């Protein structure tokens, strides 16, 4: 896993089977069209929501059951994030990739528990982390047992609640650790706190940033998508409409064909 350019995509948080499978089946179609490995992602719990009243998701047991149904009906590999060590064993029985959320990217006990499963782990890079701090988190994962690690870049906090993506990160972290570095095109356009104290965003910039990251050499993409983003209970202001995903992927694969023609042979 993570050995070739890969797409990680899906809704922010798990919803009903109809929505989950509509997205997953579209991902299967694009995987075939673009000959692109695809991993379905969705959260069973959004434990870091800004407001206490915000919807968090179905929870561990119901969420893992929903993810199992997606896997059984589509054959896609599955990724979900974990928030505390007690969730790790149950999640590892169902999903193919465990994810460490950005806000928990330095939590030693969580990293060690995830690495100890031997499962591939995607480490979401915290918005405050320099590459030396990322190296420490990767070492915790490696020392606890997993050899398959990816880091996902989502930008660094700057003034006025903007996230700024340094496109050098894909080469610098990728070569120095070394690990594949993915680009999170949807979370990178978040604007924390601007929507009545909750997170807003500028999704119109997602295609441009995604193309730039692919040209800069990212190892894969991480994109949240939904048939009707405005109805999503989480991250509705940054998700890519499902109808726009194919055009984005088409442009992405054209860039990769131009830059890496030998991979297409």
Q: Which two tokens stand for residue 45?
A: 């719990």
Give a yes or no: residue 48 inside a domain: yes
Mean pLDDT of the chain, nearest integer: 91
Give the bridge partners for 77, in sequence order.
Answer: 39
Using the predicted structure, report yes or no on whether residue 198 has a pLDDT greater than 90.
Answer: no
Tell me, what's the pLDDT at 203? 83
CATH assignment at residue 135: 3.20.20.70
Radius of gyration of the chain (CA): 17
Judge whether 184 lies within some domain.
yes
Number of structural domains, the chain? 1
Q: Using pLDDT thresholds of 50, 70 and 90, give the confidence band for residue 196.
A: very low
Q: Name residues whose C-beta falls within 8 Å of residue 213's C-beta, 6 or more positions apart in sequence.
A: 153, 165, 167, 170, 183, 185, 221
pLDDT tens by residue, 173-187:
999 999 999 999 999
Give me the helix-helix angle, 206-216 and 242-259, nearest 10°. 20
Which of 81-85, 214-218, 230-234 bottoms out in mean pLDDT, i.e. has the lowest? 230-234
**Which residues is 181 bridged to in the sheet?**
151
Residue 195 has pLDDT above 60, yes or no: no
Find the mean pLDDT for residues 43-61: 76
CA distances from 76 to 99, 152, 164, 228 (A): 16, 20, 32, 22
Asked whether 50 and 197 are in contact (CB, 8 A), the reply is yes
Torsion of CA 112, 43, 210, 76, to 10 degrees: 90
3-class secondary structure, 165? coil
Report the distance separating Cα 163 and Cα 139, nearest Å: 26
Whether residue 7 contacts residue 36, with contact meaning beta carbons closer than 8 Å, is answered with: yes
Amino acid 46: pLDDT: 77
pLDDT at site 162: 81
Residue 197 pLDDT > 70, yes or no? no
Using the structure block, give the residue that is written with the tokens 């080469």.
171
212: in domain: yes
Domain membership of residue 89 (yes or no) is yes
CB 78 within 8 A of CB 107: no
112/57: higher pLDDT: 112
The span from the CA of 107 to the CA of 93, in Å, is 22
Q: What is the rounded average pLDDT of the residues 129-144?
A: 94
Q: Higher-confidence residue: 158 or 96? A: 96
* For residues 240-254, average pLDDT: 97
Identify the domain containing residue 179 by its residue range. Answer: 6-264
- Residue 50's pLDDT band, with cuts at 50, 70 and 90, is low
1 falls within a domain: no
Q: Is residue 63 part of a domain?
A: yes
């Amino acid at each position: 896993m993570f050995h070739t350019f890969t797409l990680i995509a899906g809704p922010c948080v798990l919803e009903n089977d109809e929505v989950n499978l509509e997205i997953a089946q579209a991902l299967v179609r694009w995987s075939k069209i673009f000959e692109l490995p695809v991993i379905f992602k969705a959260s069973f719990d959004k434990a870091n929501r800004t407001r206490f009243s915000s919807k968090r998701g179905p929870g561990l047991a119901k969420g893992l059951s929903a993810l199992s149904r997606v896997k059984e009906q589509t054959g896609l590999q599955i990724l979900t994030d974990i928030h505390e060590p007690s969730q790790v064993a149950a999640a590892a029985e169902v999903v193919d990739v465990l994810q460490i959320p950005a806000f928990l990217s330095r939590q030693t006990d969580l990293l060690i528990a995830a690495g100890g499963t031997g499962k591939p782990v995607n480490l979401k890079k915290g918005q405050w982390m320099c590459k030396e701090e990322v190296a420490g988190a990767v070492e915790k994962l490696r020392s606890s047992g997993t050899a398959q690690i990816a880091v996902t870049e989502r930008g660094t906090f700057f003034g006025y609640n903007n996230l700024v993506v340094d496109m050098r990160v894909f080469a610098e972290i990728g070569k120095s650790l070394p690990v594949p570095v993915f680009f999170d095109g949807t979370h990178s356009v978040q604007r924390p706190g601007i929507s009545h104290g909750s997170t807003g965003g500028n999704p119109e910039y997602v295609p441009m940033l995604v193309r730039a990251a692919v040209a800069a050499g990212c190892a894969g993409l991480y994109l949240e998508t939904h048939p009707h983003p405005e109805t999503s209970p989480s991250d509705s202001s940054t998700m890519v409409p499902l109808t726009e995903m194919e055009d984005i992927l088409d442009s992405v694969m054209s860039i990769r064909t131009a830059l890496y023609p030998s991979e297409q042979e």
